[in-house]
Structure 1
Amino acid sequence: MVSDLINRDSVSWDPGKVRQCFDWNSSRNILSMELPSNLKDDFLYWKYHPSGRYSVKTGYYFLSRNQMMNDSPLSTKDERFAKLIWSLNIQPKWKIFLWKLLYDGIAVKVNLVNRGIAVDATCDVCGLELEDSQHLFRFCSLAKYVWDNSPMTVCCDITGFQSLRSWIQHFILLFYSEDGRHSTRIIWFIENLWGLWTARNTKVFKGIGVTTATVVELVNLALKDHEVFNEEDKTRDMGGIEARREPTLPPGFNHVDGSWDKASTRAGIGWAFICPNQADTNDGGGKYGTAFSALQCEAWACLEALKWANRQGKEEVLVLSDSVLLLENLRSNQGKEISIAWLIEDIRVIALNFRKCSIIKVTREQVQRANDIANTCRCTLSNLVL
């Protein structure tokens, strides 16, 4: 029985019994798993998704992951390009659009026919060729006009690029290498692709004739849309900076952080209690142990900090954490990661003991003191009380 491997007094794994029953690697993984603070009934869960819940979405995730594992792995160039796309400061819809283009997932007519949808696959723009992604974005007469008249010197029929994916990769990586991450030419390139797609949809779904002037207008609209997005993004960033400069703090707040080594699963946690009007306050502590993930380590640090504050008789507390994932799990009613389900439940329960308890996301620099404590506990395999 699993219960035989648990020390009932400390509600923790019994390392001796676990290592007696399992090999080293299995023991390490078991000992790093969280345990509930009190008895819980067993329950079924879907192990193929982090949430532990089965749905059509998580089932699709499982099947897609298996398909990706069977496919050939991404090349180094593909991995570098994928990271670049998701890091660009562009609208999310453009990122998804690019991603679909790269994997030929865009709903051009040839793809629709391949999926069993009965449509005439002839290009509605030129009426001469079948409408696949290569034709629509490179070889259609409208596409050639757009690229020939752009300020980027993009050659749509350049040799050596048999797929639309390799052609797009070539120019975006070229602009990135010459201009850097904030390349204006990358934005122009994506805007032209988006303009061609919206022009095509205007013709297909609205029956409105498409001319070169139409595409130019749609590209300009895309540029304005991007500029508005950038301005809103700057406003959000400035608002966040101002909020961090002048935080509204309750009488005391905890810095919390975790330190985790993936190879050994060793973990350290730390918390540092600060009173805004008492700069020399030096309260807090830290512990060492094992953890299954960095997220589990962060949740453990938050729980122990709240337990400490409760024992100290604090009535109001603000917890500062640099973990976005921890906050996302706390905000979700059911939690997003089943691997820390018990920790999240315990955090919510103990938070009810305070008159006011808030947990907010801050930068790593703002929890540096707690991080130093966590590193010390992990490296020295010792608990610490300040």
Structure 2
Amino acid sequence: MSESLMARVLKGKYFPSRNLLEANINSNASFTWRSICSAKDVLLKGVCKVIGNGNDTCIWTDPWVPSIENSRIPHREGVMTGHEPYFVSDLFTAGSWKEDILRSHFNPWEVQAIKKIPLPMHDMVDSWMWKHTTSGLFTVKSAYYMELIEERKKKPTLSSCANRQVWQRLWSSKIQPRVKMFGWKVAHNGVLVRLNLVKKGMKLDQICPRCGEADESLEHMLMFCEGSRRVWYLSPLRLDVSTVRGGRVRDWVAFLESNKKEDECWALFWMLCWNIWVGRNAWVFEGVLRDPRVIVEKAVQGVVEVAKINDEAELRASINNTMVRWIAPSEGVYKINSDAAMFDGG
């Protein structure tokens, strides 16, 4: 546990006699504390006890064996007799594991994993470590990568094999970098619509601020809200959102990638998504309601402007490649460079 002022204040207020993982959320908890507690499940996946004297580590409930899944010894319901050792301190003495106790209460692979744990040479209390950094200290970056790897194991994403073409096409589209980043967030449901904010622990009304008829999920904001429906219908793409299979943005993106082959249509799709989001924010934060036709015009204008910039860049590149450049003569040949100017009248 950190000794920073914030950590000491939180401990004194919310869990003075327990550890962080055992702490609860009370009715008057602050947003900071609620946010920390919402990440407790992530912590449980990566924390592990460092064995000192073993007096504070329960064999059957605490994570303390780093080389097995979740660092926990599975509790054997219906098999345990009630005379099993309870604390890790019951499993060793004088810096050595009690192999007879280990063999009688644990599976062979668990015994092997336990015996890999180093025991201290002197008396020290048990402590905590984070398994995913070499220092044992928690970092947001390491937790993010841990969750990312776990998510990739569970299901394919837009950047994996089945949808790699969609992913590559997004990044090669002729749209602004910020729109590409927004597309990445859309693909991973990372856009901060109200339903996602509520899931993160924020207390606010999750009803759509534009139509007030349904929860503001990513799909509702981009597709099913009445204002968004009109944008898609009025756009040059003439898309009917009622035909979306599965009702998910991910399914719609895959469908469009396979049916809208033109690069301009693909770029316009993402520019429309971006401008729907910008229009939504204009209403939420500025009280400005943008007409769907204006949103469509801005999206089309954005595609045209980016295409014009790319065409000019390609033209400059082609001119530079075709310019006559001075070339050194071959060996044994002399070249004399001269310059002349002609004027009217001699």
TM-score, normalization: structure 1?
0.45
Q: Which structure is richer in relative contact order (CA contacts within 8 A, separation 6 or more)?
A: 1
Rg larger for: 2
Report which of the two has the higher share of strand. Answer: 1
